[in-house]
Structure 1
């Protein structure tokens, strides 16, 4: 029996989709992704575009990048199901896990995130040679919720008997690249940022190492990961995991994606890897 043409427009979209091949039905869905704003919005979009296209091919559905204004907004977006996956630092993952009552889990991390580091930088000729020399000085961090731009640098300052709240004049730039530029511009005496952004800015000649130098590099710690909610459909989760771990630097297209993510490979990860981050956050008074 023929359905009158005008009746088709009255049918629910979900009913119409049931008659489509699976790949077309899936394409009508949208997989929403966000990231902590640890770099400028344009840089985050540039880095994500090829990865987003790769995920679309692997998942068989549209992938959309949703920018957020600050670190806290990225946590709330995932917890409140506004997005499906977020690029978190170790500390923001811990915050999301607590905020969601253990309702989120890290899916993958870069190989580099097993041994991540932060650097402290200062202008050449500042006379600052060690963490203790920062007492009384102006120091820039990234976001208050940044693992590599605040939490871990703060943790190592406290180990060196330097209390940021008492001994330093602290400011927050909002992002790693902004911290480096604040130091380079002479607006602060020193700054802390993640080593990956520092190395990228040096390579791109956005900072001049004849004018700004690293004076302290932290010991390694676990950091970034892609986090999803635990209620994600298991089949979708399996596809997503495969989309990341199957990226192969020997294939030119994959290498472009990995290079933009500053990764050699993606590997599976687990929540227990970030237990030391939670411990450091509680010791630093950043988690109650």
Structure 2
């Protein structure tokens, strides 16, 4: 009887520990960190349909958060503050290699950097911008890093000024407070329709690894559910409207070695964070 009682107690303890571990693996709320490519207000509005879909589909609270700039976002990502990350390819590579995040998917639309100048300006080359204020989003954003390389490779090694959001770049360029500014093509396409015709491209980059969804390693037990919920979102009316509004064209799987190609940019972020 004593042996039976001991065995039964041991079984209950193992069952309790197993249940406790299973509960611990499921977050109280799924925290989605979105890189600050736009203002916090715009980001929260943009990802509201996805947030609501995931919340309903997963049966748990979902919150969307961002950071003051790309550098702070990278720090928070590496500190494991996000359950799901949505960020450009270079930071996605950093999260993958340095913090164990698992890539899930990306958008079909090509991600490109553009240099914006006022439509009525005389600027035609990188050298024309020498000695004039040029804007980027932050020292570790992909559009800024690409823009700095483009300027330097074309004879202009002067540093950029940083602002908090893409719409601020456009506004400052049109106000004459900056000669040019680097933003993503997707963010240019999201500018107000009356703003876009007042700007023109000085240069446009080749396609780069754009916004990538990654999953924190602590949430791997939820990977299949989250992955299925994301692909399901793409087939909903709300998802289709989201892709159409922001010209993202839907989701796709990452190509082989697509993130590995972003390693040089990821290394620049590492150096900044040291």
- Calculate the TM-score normalised by the size of structure 2: 0.80
Pairwise mapping of residues 260-271 of structure 1 onto structure 2 (< 5 A)? 262-269=247-254
2:74 match: 75
Task: Give the distance between the partners of 2:181 and 2:112, measured in 1 at CA.
Answer: 14
Q: Secondary structure at the match of 1:272?
A: coil
Task: Give the distance between the partners of 1:270 and 1:228, measured in 2 at CA.
Answer: 17
1:129 to 120, 124, 132: 124
2:151 to 143, 151, 157: 157
Deviation at 1:281, TM superposition (A): 5.4
2:91 match: 92
Deviation at 1:86, TM superposition (A): 1.5
1:195 match: 185
Deviation at 1:258, TM superposition (A): 2.7
1:259 match: 244
Closer, same or farther: CA 270–62 of 1 in aligned 2, 3 Å: farther
Task: Give the distance between the partners of 1:123 and 1:258, measured in 2 at CA.
Answer: 28
**2:264 is the alignment partner of 1:279:** yes
Count the aligned residue pairs.
Answer: 251
Q: Secondary structure at the match of 1:220?
A: coil
Task: Give the distance between the partners of 1:106 and 1:28, measured in 2 at CA.
Answer: 19
Structure 2 gap ranges (5+): 1-15, 20-24
Pairwise mapping of residues 129-148 of structure 1 onto structure 2 (< 5 A)? 129-148=124-143
Task: Give the distance between the partners of 1:256 and 1:116, measured in 2 at CA.
Answer: 19
1:222 match: 209
Q: Please give the per-residue CA displacement for 1:163-184, whole angstroms capped at 9, x wherever unaligned.
A: 234xxxx210122221111101
- Calculate the TM-score normalised by the size of structure 1: 0.77
1:245 to 231, 239, 242: 231
Over the residues paired in the alignment, what is the CA RMSD in angstroms? 2.8
Deviation at 1:188, TM superposition (A): 0.6
For the 8 Å contact 2:117–2:180, the answer to whether it is kept is yes
Higher relative contact order (CA 8 A, sep 6+): 2
For the 8 Å contact 1:91–1:281, the answer to whether it is kept is yes
Deviation at 1:128, TM superposition (A): 0.5
Structure 1 gap ranges (5+): 1-14, 19-25
Deviation at 1:90, TM superposition (A): 1.7
For the 8 Å contact 2:86–2:214, the answer to whether it is kept is yes
2:13 match: none
Q: Secondary structure at the match of 1:87?
A: strand
